[in-house]
């Protein structure tokens, strides 16, 4: 096993966690907060929009099974990277589209990947995903972990998370856990 991790922010971490948790090669997905100015922020503080943190996931994966490129592919295909500080009805800097890179490889690969997407014209608007140097990642409160799995009947999960997962399952079967 060749373990590595990547940190992505793409709106509500309930959605992002549920999608990445279904990928073959993913060892763990932890929701949390990153990119802000407050140490060990609470969900309420982050939701206030005053801490600068993004809701994010830290995905630990096996590089022998899953590549950083495939993680980027899933990241860009499962949220709208063209809306600034917003995903659907979730609005605020805490819902920004960001890749938190830990080294030059991730930074340069992400830049090149975004340039490739822009050139392809797959998105009708400009990609606004930010590339931010990794800072301290604070794990979210326990009740946020595996939220969709533990709360499938929650209204938000039914209206937002489940449709995203269903759409992803239809399009990316080769990346899913068996």
Name 5's bridge partners: 60
| Residue whose C-alpha is closest to residue 175's, from 87, 81, 61 | 61
Give the catalytic positions in this structure.
12
Name 176's bridge partners: 23
Kindly report the three-state secondary structure assignment for every residue of 104-141: HHHHHHHHHHHHHHHHHCCCCCCCCCEEEECCCCEECC
Kindly report the CA angle at 142 between 139 and 144, in degrees rounded to 5?
Answer: 85
């Amino acid at each position: 096993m060749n373990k590595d991790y990547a940190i992505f922010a793409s709106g509500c971490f309930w959605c992002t966690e549920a999608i990445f948790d279904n990928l073959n090669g993913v060892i763990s997905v932890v929701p949390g907060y990153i990119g802000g100015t407050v140490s060990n922020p609470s969900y309420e503080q982050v939701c206030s929009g005053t801490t600068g943190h993004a809701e994010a996931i830290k995905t630990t994966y096996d590089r022998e099974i899953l590549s950083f490129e495939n993680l980027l592919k899933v990241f860009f295909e499962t949220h709208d990277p063209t809306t600034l500080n917003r995903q659907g009805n979730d609005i605020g800097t805490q819902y920004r589209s960001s890749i938190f890179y830990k080294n030059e490889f991730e930074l340069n690969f992400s830049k090149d990947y975004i340039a490739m997407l822009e050139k392809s014209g797959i998105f009708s608007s400009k990609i606004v995903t930010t590339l931010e140097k990794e800072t301290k990642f604070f794990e979210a409160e326990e009740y946020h972990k595996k939220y969709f799995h533990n709360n499938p009947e929650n209204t938000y999960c039914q209206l937002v998370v489940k449709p995203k997962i269903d759409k992803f399952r239809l399009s990316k079967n080769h990346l899913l856990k068996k």
